[in-house]
């Protein structure tokens, strides 16, 4: 079973810098957004990366984890984590279990922390995922 897990490939969707999208995006795996997006992004169980060239004007963005390096306007919900990198701007409310905001970020909104951490079944996850869950729980204990 370990061999099957390590050889599975994750699908990644990339929207380039010249791409402009309007509407509703629903995804199940990873999205890298480098262009302009207006609408709603729903990616429960997925990962979303909003690059530094991206401008995202969303009603809501929902995902497992969200990394922001660009400009985002809209409410964000991530069941596991949100990370906002230096030089970003985020205007909207954030709901998540873990939040990291770097220096030099323009953030305007409120933050709600989720108290229920995702449970991890030790026997069904890759060791890196298990280690990450331990880090999540150790952050809560402090």
Q: Which residues are within 8 A (CB) of 142 and not within 5 positions of it... i.e. 6 or more apart?
A: none
| Whole-number pLDDT of residue 10 | 73
What is the mean predicted confidence (pLDDT) over 15-36?
93
Cα–Cα distance measured from residue 138 to residue 35, given in angstroms and rounded to the nearest whole number:
36
- What's the residue count for the chain? 142
Residue 114: pLDDT band by 50, 70, 90 thresholds?
Answer: confident
Q: 110 by DSSP, 3-state: which? A: coil
Residue 118: pLDDT band by 50, 70, 90 thresholds?
Answer: low
Sign (positive or negative) of CA dihedral 44, 108, 32, 1: negative
What residue segments make up the domains of the chain, in order of their start?
Answer: 2-116
End-to-end, the C-alpha distance of the chain in Å comes to 35
- The model carries a pTM of 0.75
């Amino acid at each position: 079973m370990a061999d099957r897990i390590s050889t599975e490939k994750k699908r990644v969707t990339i929207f380039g810098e010249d791409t402009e999208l309007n509407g509703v995006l629903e995804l199940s795996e990873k999205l890298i957004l480098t262009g302009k997006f207006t609408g709603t992004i729903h990616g429960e169980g997925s990962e979303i990366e909003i690059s530094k060239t991206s401008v995202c004007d969303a009603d809501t963005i929902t995902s497992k984890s969200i990394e922001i390096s660009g400009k985002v306007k809209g409410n964000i919900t991530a069941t596991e984590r949100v990370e906002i990198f230096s030089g970003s701007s985020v205007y909207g409310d954030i709901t998540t279990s873990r939040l990291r905001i770097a220096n030099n970020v323009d953030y305007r909104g409120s933050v709600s922390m989720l108290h229920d951490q995702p449970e991890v079944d030790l026997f069904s996850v890759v060791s890196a995922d298990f280690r990450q869950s331990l880090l999540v729980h150790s952050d809560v204990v402090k």
